[in-house]
């Protein structure tokens, strides 16, 4: 009997989970596409390149879509069973809610394990591919597009104007080409009445096949008594091909090794090595600072000699002059100015010597917090899947509504709370306001008591989400008030 129930609950959950997960993932991918649409459109990117970017981004968005899909599917599954009175029948047969949730909990724990593997091994690679490709696409030039009646300056050192174009987009009329490659301005001009635009098969070159035109070239001559004179050369042509290099408009891929140092591209083991490396660097920092200031501060680098000097100064012997407030009182007036200038110079030198270690230390601390936050993120995804199931299952049993109405609203509310607290905790952890473990686990720690409370309410058949329960309580309050009014 119980094995059939386990199979029933698993079959009831897997279908909605697959649908909600892929729908959620699709919505998140479309949100990303709309966010960067203005920067990607108009650059002549091929469909395969766009699909490649979307596939990589889909992998990076799994940590957000997976918990939401589990939450929504668990609410829908238990809501459908509550609406069809299946939960009532199961409880009447002596099977508790926790026993009924057990097969799904084991299944979700398995998903959490797969999520950890995916988060630790797949997502760093997907982040590397996606962010490097997105960087190249965002920094690529728009496609070369000539509009009739406008000068086009997209090709370096060339300014091109076309009077009109045929509907086919290839045949052009009244062409003007200013060649500025010499660096002396518009000293090379091409005019043509008609032409045709065509590109090579590899899209690397654009060819203008011009007809019935003139070429005007200005040059410097030195044949008139050694004095330079300007000359103008005019050449007529019936047919002439002008070739433009379009390699600058192609998407140039950046070496991915340049992005591998970012914390998003590291696995758990790599993050641990990076954290240990920063710890070792921090331990060496005091020694480095001591070496920097040692030439300017007496005995700054030798604790033993400094201690001996202080003991000798404390002893009052013959020939030792004591001062009340400052050693400066014992100096002659002629030496005071030199002492002040020397001290000021030493302080400035010390400050300049410490500026770079201080700046480098701040960067190291910032990276240390980011590495620690990312290290904990690898684990939080698996626990988020289990946590949102523990919230969604009892919620569905309490709501007792299936479909995408009330379950969707409740799921979105809880997921928004979870996501907002996660973002806030991550920012606090990266900013140093909270330890990394506290910031990254803040959302889990806040929602875990709510999960236990909902499980307890579901076991007791709570009606906190029942409209009829609130209606009965409202009418009961009205009757009570009317009775008291009549008695008064």
Higher pLDDT, 104 or 475: 104
Mean pLDDT along residues 261-281: 84
What CA–CA distance (Å, rounded) separates 60 from 129? 10
* From 198-202, 371-375, 389-393, 425-429, the region with the lowest mean pLDDT: 198-202
N-to-C CA span, the chain: 60
Domain definitions of the chain by residue range: 151-249, 259-372
pLDDT higher than threshold 50 for residue 222: no
- 249 against 334, higher pLDDT: 334
Is 473 strand, coil or helix?
Answer: helix
Q: How far is 155 from 43, CA to CA, in rounded Å?
A: 14
Taking only the tens place, the pLDDT of each residue in 36-57 is 766 666 555 667 777 888 888 8
SS3 state at 278: helix
Helix (H) or strand (E) holding 138: helix 123-139
Pick 218 or 446 by higher pLDDT. Answer: 446
The mean predicted confidence, pLDDT, of the chain is 78
Instruction: Summarize pLDDT for 12-33 with one digit per residue, the tens.
Output: 888 888 988 898 888 888 887 7
Q: What is the pLDDT of residue 455?
A: 83
User: Percent of the chain having pLDDT more than 90?
Assistant: 2
**Strand order from edge to edge, sheet including 227-245:** 151-152, 158-165, 171-179, 188-199, 205-224, 227-245
Q: Find, among 5, 16, 1, 19, the residue nearest to 101 by Cα.
A: 5
pLDDT at residue 157 tops 70: yes
Residue 150 has what DSSP assignment?
A: S
Segment 89-112, tens digit of pLDDT:
777 777 777 887 888 889 999 998
Angstrom distance (rounded) from CA 72 to CA 16: 8
Question: How confident is the model over 141-152, as a mean pLDDT?
Answer: 69
Both tokens assigned to 67: 């918990």
Is residue 86 scored above 60 in pLDDT?
A: yes
Pairing outcome for strands 158-165 and 227-245: unpaired
Q: Which tens digit of pLDDT belongs to each residue from 164-219?
A: 888 777 788 888 888 877 777 777 888 888 888 887 776 677 788 888 888 888 76
pLDDT value of residue 462: 64
Q: CA 488, CA 479: separation in Å to the nearest integer?
A: 14
What proportion of the chain, given as a percentage, has pLDDT over 70? 78
Q: Could you tell me the pLDDT band of residue 223, with boundaries at 50, 70 and 90?
A: very low
Cα dihedral value 194, 199, 205, 206, nearest 10: 20
Range ranked top by mean pLDDT from 292-301, 330-339, 348-357: 348-357
CA distances to 122, 390, 404 from 20, in Å: 22, 17, 10
239-259 pLDDT, tens digit per residue, is: 888 887 766 556 556 666 666
Q: What is the pTM of this model?
A: 0.65
> Does the pLDDT of residue 160 top 50, yes or no?
yes
In this predicted structure, the answer to whether residue 340 has a pLDDT above a threshold of 60 is: yes
Lowest mean pLDDT: which of 312-316, 411-415, 437-441?
312-316
């Amino acid at each position: 009997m119980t094995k059939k129930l386990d199979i029933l609950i698993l079959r009831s959950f897997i279908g909605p989970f697959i649908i909600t997960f892929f729908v959620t993932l699709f919505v998140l991918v479309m949100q990303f596409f709309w966010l960067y649409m203005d920067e990607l459109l108009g650059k002549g990117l091929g469909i395969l390149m766009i699909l490649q970017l979307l596939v990589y981004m889909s992998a990076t968005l799994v940590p957000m879509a997976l918990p939401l899909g589990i939450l929504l599917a668990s609410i829908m599954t238990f809501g459908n069973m509550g609406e069809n009175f299946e939960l009532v029948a199961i409880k009447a047969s002596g099977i508790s809610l926790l026993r009924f949730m057990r097969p799904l909990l084991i299944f979700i724990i398995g998903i959490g394990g797969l999520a950890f593997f995916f988060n630790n091994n797949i997502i760093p690679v997907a982040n590397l591919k996606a962010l490097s490709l997105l960087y190249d696409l965002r920094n690529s030039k728009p496609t070369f597009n000539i509009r009739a009646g406008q000068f086009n300056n997209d090709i370096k050192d060339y300014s091109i104007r076309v009077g009109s174009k045929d509907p086919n987009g290839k045949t052009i009329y009244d062409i003007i080409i200013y060649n500025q490659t010499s660096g002396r301005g518009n000293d090379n001009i091409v005019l043509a009445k008609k032409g045709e635009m065509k590109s090579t098969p590899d899209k690397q070159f654009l060819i203008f096949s011009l007809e019935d035109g003139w070429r005007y070239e200005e040059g410097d001559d030195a044949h008139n008594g050694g004095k330079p004179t300007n000359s103008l050369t005019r050449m007529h042509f019936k047919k002439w091909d002008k070739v433009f290099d379009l390699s600058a408009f192609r998407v140039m891929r950046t070496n991915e090794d340049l992005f591998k140092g970012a914390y998003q591209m590291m696995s758990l083991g790599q993050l641990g090595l990076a954290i240990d490396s920063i710890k070792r660097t921090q331990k060496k920092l005091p020694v480095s600072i001591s070496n920097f200031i040692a030439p300017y501060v007496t005995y700054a680098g030798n604790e033993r000699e400094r201690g001996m000097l202080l003991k000798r100064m404390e002893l009052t012997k013959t020939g030792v002059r004591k001062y009340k407030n400052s050693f400066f009182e014992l100096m002659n007036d002629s030496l005071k100015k030199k002492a002040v200038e020397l001290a000021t110079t030493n302080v400035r030198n010390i400050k300049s010597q410490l500026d770079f270690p201080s700046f480098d230390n701040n960067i190291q601390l910032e990276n240390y917090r980011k590495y620690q936050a990312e290290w904990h993120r690898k684990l939080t995804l698996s626990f988020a899947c289990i946590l949102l199931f523990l919230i969604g299952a009892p919620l569905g049993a309490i709501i007792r509504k299936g479909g995408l109405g009330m379950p969707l609203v409740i799921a979105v509310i809880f997921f928004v709370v979870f996501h907002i607290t996660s973002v806030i905790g991550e920012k606090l952890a990266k900013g140093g306001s909270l330890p990394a473990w506290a910031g990254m686990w803040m959302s889990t720690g806040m929602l875990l008591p709510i999960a236990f409370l909902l499980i307890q309410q579901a076991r007791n058949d709570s009606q906190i989400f029942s409209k009829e329960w609130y209606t009965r309580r409202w009418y009961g309050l009205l009757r009570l008030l009317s009775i008291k009014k009549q008695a008064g």
